[in-house]
Amino acid sequence: MTTYLEHPLLRPQSVERRLFQLDLAAGALKASSLVVVPTGLGKTVIALMVLLGRIEKGKILFLAPTKPLVEQHASFLRRVLADDGMVALMTGETEAEGRGEIWKSARIVVSTPQVIENDLLSRRMDLENVSLVIFDEAHRAVGNYAYVYIAERYMREASSPLVLGITASPGSEGEKIAEICASLGIEKILTRTESDPDVMPFVHQREVEWIRLTVPEELLRIRTAIEDVLKSRMDELNRLGISPARIELRASKKELLGLQAMLRTGVARQPNPALFRGISLMAEILKLQHAVELAETQGPGALGRYLQRLHGEALSRSGSKASRRIIEDPRIGKVMADLAETKAEHPKLSAVLEILHEQIEAEPDSRIMVFTNYRDTASALLEFLKQDQVIKAVRFVGQASRQDDSGLTQKKQAEILQKFRSGEHNVLIATSVGEEGIDIPSTDLVLFYEPVPSEIRSIQRKGRTGRARAGRVVVLMAKGTRDEAYHWISDRKEKTMQRQIRGLSRKEHQAQFETPEQPQTRQAEITDAQDARASNIQCTAASPQAQSEAFAIFVDLREREMGKLLETRGLQVAMKNLEVGDYVISDRVAVERKTAQDFVVSMMDPQRNLFRQISDLARTYERPLLILEGRDLYTRQVNPNAIRGALASVAVDYGVPIIPTESQEETAEVIAILSARERKDGRAPKIHGHKTARTLKEQQEYLVASMPSVGPAVARNLLRHFGSVERIVAASPEELQEVELVGPKIAERIRELVGGQYKG
Contact 194, 38 (CB under 8 A): yes
Enumerate the CATH 1.10.150.20 domain ranges in the chain, comma separated: 696-755
pLDDT tens sequence across 229-265: 999 999 999 999 888 888 998 888 888 999 988 888 8
| DSSP calls for 631-666 | S-TT-SSS-HHHHHHHHHIIIIIS---EEEESSHHH
Residue 120 in 3-state DSSP?
helix
User: Quick one: average pLDDT of 590-606?
Assistant: 87
User: Quick one: average pLDDT of 169-187?
Assistant: 86
Enumerate the CATH 3.40.50.10130 domain ranges in the chain, comma separated: 551-680
**Percent of residues, the chain, with pLDDT higher than 90:** 41
Residue 60 in 3-state DSSP?
strand
Contact 710, 317 (CB under 8 A): yes
pLDDT tens sequence across 121-157: 888 889 999 999 999 999 999 988 999 999 999 999 9
pLDDT tens sequence across 658-674: 999 999 999 999 999 99
Q: In what order do the strands lie in the sheet with 130-136?
A: 87-90, 108-111, 59-63, 130-136, 163-167, 33-36, 188-191
pLDDT band at 227 (very low <50, low <70, confident <90, very high): very high
Regarding the domain delimited by 551-680, which CATH topology (the fold level of the hierarchy) does it fall under?
Rossmann fold (3.40.50)
pLDDT band at 522 (very low <50, low <70, confident <90, very high): very low
| Least confident residue range of 110-119, 374-383, 585-594, 619-628 | 374-383
Collect all residues with Cβ–Cβ distance below 8 Å to 686 and sequence separation of at least 6. Answer: 584, 586, 587
Euclidean distance between CA atoms 109 and 401, whole angstroms = 30
Regarding the domain delimited by 20-203+503-511, which CATH topology (the fold level of the hierarchy) does it fall under?
Rossmann fold (3.40.50)
User: Quick one: average pLDDT of 426-437?
Assistant: 79
Top CATH class of 696-755 equals mainly alpha
Asked if the model's pLDDT at residue 183 lies above 50, the reply is: yes
| Least confident residue range of 113-122, 198-207, 282-291 | 198-207
User: Quick one: average pLDDT of 520-540?
Assistant: 33
The CATH code belonging to domain 206-213+346-479 is 3.40.50.300
Euclidean distance between CA atoms 631 and 600, whole angstroms = 12
pLDDT band at 520 (very low <50, low <70, confident <90, very high): very low
- Model's pTM, two decimal places? 0.70
**Percent of residues, the chain, with pLDDT higher than 70:** 88
Enumerate the CATH 3.40.50.300 domain ranges in the chain, comma separated: 20-203+503-511, 206-213+346-479
Question: What kind and span of H or E run contains 164?
Answer: strand 163-167
Collect all residues with Cβ–Cβ distance below 8 Å to 223 and sequence separation of at least 6. Answer: 292, 295, 296
Single-letter amino acid, residue 469: R
CATH label, 217-341, candidates 3.30.390.10, 3.40.50.970, 1.10.357.10, 1.20.1320.20? 1.20.1320.20
The residue count of the chain comes to 760
pLDDT band at 468 (very low <50, low <70, confident <90, very high): low
